[in-house]
Chains A and B, each alone.
Chain A
Amino acid sequence: MAIEWYIVLSSLLFATGAVGILIRRSPMVILLCLELMLNAGNLALVAFSRMVGNEEGQVFAIVVMVVAACEVVIGLGLIVAIFRRKLPLNVDDLRELRG
């Protein structure tokens, strides 16, 4: 398959993730959509690495995976903390920072 297929697929997945973040209100699901976007990025990275012919893109993809893992950890910790404090798990209701 030509590389461009992978890239187009990656952008499609990215757009889907974006829609999810914008539409859903539960923090859990938003985090999941974030994962979608990160994975779409990973796919593009690996595809380009294959196109160029060296593995540097794959190393980058692994580092991205590490980052995603850390971010998930913190995000879930946050969700747990919010849940513990009996606050509504709804992104719309948590809006103290407004103008």
Chain B
Amino acid sequence: MSATAWAWLVLLFPLLGSIVIGLSFKLIPAKVAGVIGTLSIALAFACGLGALFTLLGEDPEARHHASSLWDYANAGGLDIKLGIYVDALSIFMVLVVTGVSTLIHLYSYGYMQSDQGYHRFFSYLNFFVFSMLTLVLAGNFVLLVVGWAFVGFASYALISFWYRRTTATRAGMKAFVINVVGDIGLVLAAFLIFQQLGTFDYGPAFEKAPEVFSTNEWTITAICLLLLVGAFAKSAQLPFHTWLPDAMEGPTPVSSLIHAATMVTAGVYLIARTHVFFELSPTAADIAAFVGLATLLVAGTIALVMTDLKRAIAYSTMSQIGYMIMGVSIGAYSAGLFHLMTHAFFKALLFMAAGSIIAAMANNQNIDKMSGFGKAMRFTSITFLCGALALAAFPLTSGFFSKDEILAFAEARGGMYLIFTVLGYVGALITAIYTFRLVFRVLPGRPCKEAQELIDSGHVAHEAPTNPATGEAEDTDVGYPGADHHIAEQSWPMRAAMSVLAFLALIGGLIQVPGVDDVLEKWLDPVFENSPYLEIHPSLEADYIGLTIGGVISIIGIYIAYLIYVKHPGLTARMIERMRPAYTLFANKWYFDEIIDLLIVRPALAIGRFANRVFERFVVDGLVTGTEETVRGAGGVVKAVQNGFVRSYALLLVAGFAGLALYFLISSS
């Protein structure tokens, strides 16, 4: 079978899964829904593998195919097809997405077991995977926008999955609104692309672009900046990032899949896919790189002081995506995508382990209340540690190789880009510190009461669920997990998924060890064949120096965390006292929420109020009521004629007749 046929199958299975589960939710038991959901993604993964092997059998130069099912619109110069584009990049993304999704579906099979909305969950999750695959496989900008929007919807549906929680619905709306802002940027970019290049399809567009645009011409810069708006909104980069921490209101598998491994990486994929445009507009590419760098650092500092476990990991995600965006913007395409893949492994794993811990804590996510889980939950702790090591780029883990490759490339590019290398290493240090802050807070030490309960009786603690943010009681009828929480130790699907990811997190980097093998680079390079950055290769020494520095920094960071959080417990409080302004800034998330509220939300609300009070009341109502009053008045006048008196009717008759006769007399004279 051809690669495109495999690709269509990849799209088909999740869609079918979503529809089947969605329509039959009353008919099939919950477990069956879970099986269908997981199987459909597994099948998609298998088809992805099929496409991979088909492509491998072809010449590297020829590994790009477009295929379309039918035409959407074919008039007035528009030629939009339902078409996909299969090449090394899209199959890479397909495999990452479906692979990690299968594992997360498996995890959810166990984790969401006592949830009332089990069917709905799997249907939404399958739909999300379908949308993400559409986004990744799309062959023209229109289908890309379609996939983009679907993914945004799926994210909204899954964030507000427990829809009776006000915090969840608010978070869902916030995510959706910010996503729409990104969608607008993307759509405008698509319009501009069509206007300038005359086509929406990838192949022709990328071929024509270098001929139509000269470097840094304002049109191509505008296109790139609009694409960046979309990418940043989806990938939670500054200043569009405020939705991601709130998105942790969704169930943990959702955070794991959407907000760690797949959806938030869509921005990275977008920049990589449209690299031709970004190479034509180095200004925009540099802006993207700096935004990535800024996000990296800001998110890292916030993660240092965040006390909510899931939100801390969310900020870590934001920070790592900053690395990826930085990577693909400065031209380190395969390095950035490599980091995307390894990040998917260890971040999904971290969220899964965090989910297990939070379940043991009866859904309390505050790390100040957690300790001693190392003894209480062996398996979860080990996997958590694996993920943390990879995140901190501990030597020989997957994160180690991927992160350093980006920084080595920046150094090889030289000049201004050394800033990225230096600050990238600073960010790596911060990453190591905050990651192991979490590890040392939660795992070692005297077991907290929930952990103790687990050790003593093997019994997961639970109390009447209340929403910690608002204090209102949770509605367990709708689906917020009731009294039953599921931890990895007691659920084999969860353990299976986490084991695979732990394994990958640890050894996944070995496919791209500098000087030893470069599997990924060989695979992805033909996609970027016309890029000038392909020539830039860090020398082997530079690579190894970079790796060494990275490893050393990682170990130093872990040691610092050890000192602060294990050796000298009171140190944190004293540091906070000493650096109170910095602490306040970080703890308040650099006041982004407040700034956006001031600059955007309040004016919008004010405009709305104005429109309601003034415009609606006087202009619109005035018009409508005015018309009504006029008509009623006219009616009233005419109504006076019908007074019921026969004689007045007769009078009118005679008057009319007299008038008519007069008219005829005059007209005939």
Contacts and interface: CB of A to CB of B under 8 A. Distances in A.
A78 B651 CA distance: 22
Contact of A92 (B639, B642, B647, B654): B647
B645 A21 contact: no
Interface string A32-76: 000000000000000000000000000000000000000000000
B644 A91 contact: no
A97 B644 contact: yes
Given A18-B654, A22-B654, A98 B647 contact: no
B646 A91 contact: yes
A95 B654 contact: no
Contacts of B654: 18, 22
A60 to B, nearest CB: 21
Contact of A95 (B641, B646, B651): B646
B650 interface: yes
B644 A22 contact: no
B657 to A, nearest CB: 9
B74 interface: no
B647 A99 contact: no
Contacts of B650: 21-22
A17 to B, nearest CB: 11
Interface string B638-669: 01011111110011001000000000000000
B642 A91 contact: no
Nearest to A99: B642
Given A18-B654, A22-B654, A96 B647 contact: no
Interface string A4-23: 00000000000000100111
Nearest to B642: A99
Given A91-B646, A95-B644, A98-B644, A22 B651 contact: yes
Contacts of A94: 646
A95 B644 CA distance: 5
Given A18-B654, A99-B639, A25 B644 contact: no
Contacts of B646: 91, 94-95
Contacts of B645: 91-92, 95
B212 to A, nearest CB: 72
Contacts of A95: 643-646
Contact-residue size bin, chain A (C-beta under 8 Å from the other chain): 10 to 19
Chain A binding surface, main DSSP class: loop
Nearest to B655: A22
A92 B654 CA distance: 18
Nearest to A94: B646
Contacts of A22: 647, 650-651, 654
Residue of B642, B647, B651 with most partner-chain A CB within 10 A: B647
A92 B644 CA distance: 8
B644 A96 contact: yes
Interface in B48-77: none
A25 B647 contact: yes
Contacts of B641: 99
Contacts of B647: 21-23, 25, 91-92
B57 to A, nearest CB: 87
The winner among A91, A94, A97, A99 for most chain B CB atoms within 10 A is: A99
A13 to B, nearest CB: 15
Contacts of A18: 654
Contacts of B651: 22
A15 B651 CA distance: 12
A96 B639 CA distance: 15
Interface in B613-655: 639, 641-647, 650-651, 654
A92 B646 CA distance: 7
Interface string A78-99: 0000000000000110111111
A25 B648 CA distance: 11
A18 B647 CA distance: 11
B190 to A, nearest CB: 60
A21 B641 CA distance: 18
A98 B641 CA distance: 9
A70 B568 CA distance: 121
A14 to B, nearest CB: 11
B553 to A, nearest CB: 92
Contacts of A99: 639, 641-644
Nearest to B640: A99
A36 B650 CA distance: 16
A97 B639 CA distance: 12
A25, A92, A97: residue with the most chain B Cβ atoms closer than 10 Å: A92
A91 B646 CA distance: 7
Nearest to B639: A99
A38 to B, nearest CB: 15
A14 B175 CA distance: 85
A18 B654 CA distance: 8
A98 B644 CA distance: 4
Contacts of A25: 647
Contacts of B644: 95-99
A27 to B, nearest CB: 9
Contact of B642 (A21, A23, A98): A98
Identify the interface centre among B639, B646, B650, B651: most chain A CB within 10 Å of its CB: B646
A97 B643 CA distance: 9
Contacts of A91: 645-647
A40 B218 CA distance: 93
B319 to A, nearest CB: 77
Contacts of B642: 98-99
A18 B651 CA distance: 9
A97 B647 CA distance: 13
Contacts of A23: 647
Nearest to B647: A22
Contacts of A96: 644
Contacts of A98: 642-644
10 contacts: A22-B654, A23-B647, A25-B647, A91-B646, A91-B647, A92-B647, A97-B644, A98-B642, A99-B642, A99-B644
Q: Give 8 closest A-B pairs by Cβ, nearest first.
A: A98-B644, A95-B644, A99-B642, A99-B639, A91-B646, A22-B651, A98-B642, A18-B654
Interface of B: 639, 641-647, 650-651, 654
Given A18-B654, A94-B646, 15 more contacts: A21-B647, A21-B650, A22-B647, A22-B650, A22-B654, A23-B647, A25-B647, A91-B647, A92-B645, A92-B647, A95-B643, A98-B644, A99-B639, A99-B641, A99-B642
